[in-house]
Structure 1
Amino acid sequence: MFPLHYSQYYFNEKDIYALPFMDHPSLLTYYGCDETMTKEGVASYALVLSYCSGGTLQDYLKANTIDLTTFCKMALSTSAGLAHLHTEMRSGDKWKPCVTHRDVNTKNILVKSDLTCCLCDLGLGVKITGSHYYTLGEEQHAETKSINDVGTLRYMAPEVLEGAVNLRDCEASLKQIDVYALGLVLWEMATRTSDLYPNQADVPQYALPFEKEVGVHPSLEQMRTAVCRNKARPLFNAEWKHASGSGRLIRETVDDCTDQDGEARLTALCVHERLSSLYRVFCNPDTKAYSHDFLLRMSMRTC
């Protein structure tokens, strides 16, 4: 439900779901919408979307630990959804431009009954081609209007916190911003993955990204100090620093998503390919007879 003062998010999300090729297992299914008037004469808006019984990913990780196979399912489905949004698609007269989410975080990811994930809340999303972006069907020019100062503070990339996003190529820049947030989401999943703590009896309690540095309700200035000035990166358990195998691949993927230099970050598709390699190597019984390190080196050559 969207109250009147959030109507722009309703119309924007409705507009994005109306695009061709939006049917994807890692995106919510759109069934329709409703626009009504309350008894007081105030407009109210609703989108009818598919239901995910597991709730938000953040709530799920707070209440549960996961194993490596579940990590792979959750991470693969999340990265697949983002890669699909980021991909321009054409077939005949149908066209889906690149869509950037602009508010990727664990509250905007839902857990399905099979423990795969769906991206949700496209209210801040934009359709982009190069330096042009589209909202509510109208083309805008990114270099003349700031579109980067939205999202959840904790998940904002350094260039967003500093107001230094390259809007002349907003497609590349906003994709990089989404991938930065995806890296933090992967870190949240990983820190609750029991298989990554073989030498510990208990998995650490759930923590938000940078919670140790800035607490639970950071200000913009606190985030700028931590991420931009102090170059804070997601913290890993001490034993992960020299880990091989799955721990190393996850750590390196998070690091490559959250690089201070946006142009050095992975693409969402590359993240998905790396995670697919992780699943094939560590969660597939057919590979158990082979050296995990050897298989991992082979699988990462393309990313």
Structure 2
Amino acid sequence: MRWEDFRRSENVEDRRGEPGGGPRIPGGRSGLGIGTILILGLIGWALGIDPRVLIGGAEIFTQNRPSQTQQAPTQQTRRGAPNDEMGKFVSGVLGDTEDRWKDIFQQAGRSYKAPGLVMYDGATRSACGGANSQMGPFYCPNDQKVYLDTDFFTELEKRFRGCSGKACQFSAAYVIAHEIGHHVQMQLGILPKVQQLQQQLDESESNKLQVMVELQADCFAGVWANQAQKKLNFIEPGDVEAALQTASAIGDDAMQRKMQGRVVPDSFTHGSSEQRMRWFKTGLTSGKVSECNTFQGRI
């Protein structure tokens, strides 16, 4: 993946190294419960993959109540594009998503408001509650920011089979672009509609809507990659295959099969391996937002 030509975004808050980090496990509606984290730990043990990779972005936008203990960034928070290699990569991918989605929105006669991105290590706070390294990257609609513990990507390259070097960078870019996809959904008014509808549904039907949300974010990640490829020709051999392997590994069916030996589709929240790969490829091939309608007329 040739990302060096990406414009670096200044919409980055670098909270790495701030005091008060370290392992804090959030619970309740403001984050993942400890039971979920333990389950992910078991899955990771079974697959030989870090749990943060398996969660594939622990979206907590469905738990949309502001935290009462929200902590403002300290004075040590650095704003703007970081200068270290990981920071350059993250701000570069973020910057290119800003450029591509700005163009896409302009072509549709709309304006795109870019999200923020918070880089942290260990733990931090978001407007959706506690953010912990075991949660994986996620998007918080309350402050419209992506939260990213960059150790996630170190572990991705270290432990994910078939992912190394620049091919692994494209997998990391896919994860970031997926979270940006949720911000696009927020900008289009999709997330509020889903949240409102979920309140009227039972758990099984609510999960089905959640899967549609996640698959559309996968498709939007593919749309970004398509548009960026046309502009900058940044994809190298092996990149797409690595991203598809990542999408497959974090499918609900793959995780459930490894954990419990059987698949329970009604409990899916992110989609099957086949679905995640198919919708990412749909966006990557078409480059069109209109091809990413995963909701089948539900909203």
TM-score (norm 1): 0.30
Q: Looking at both structures, which has the greater relative contact order when contacts are Cα pairs under 8 Å and sequence separation is at least 6?
A: 2
Structure number with bigger Rg? 1
Larger strand fraction of residues = 1
TM-score (norm 2): 0.30
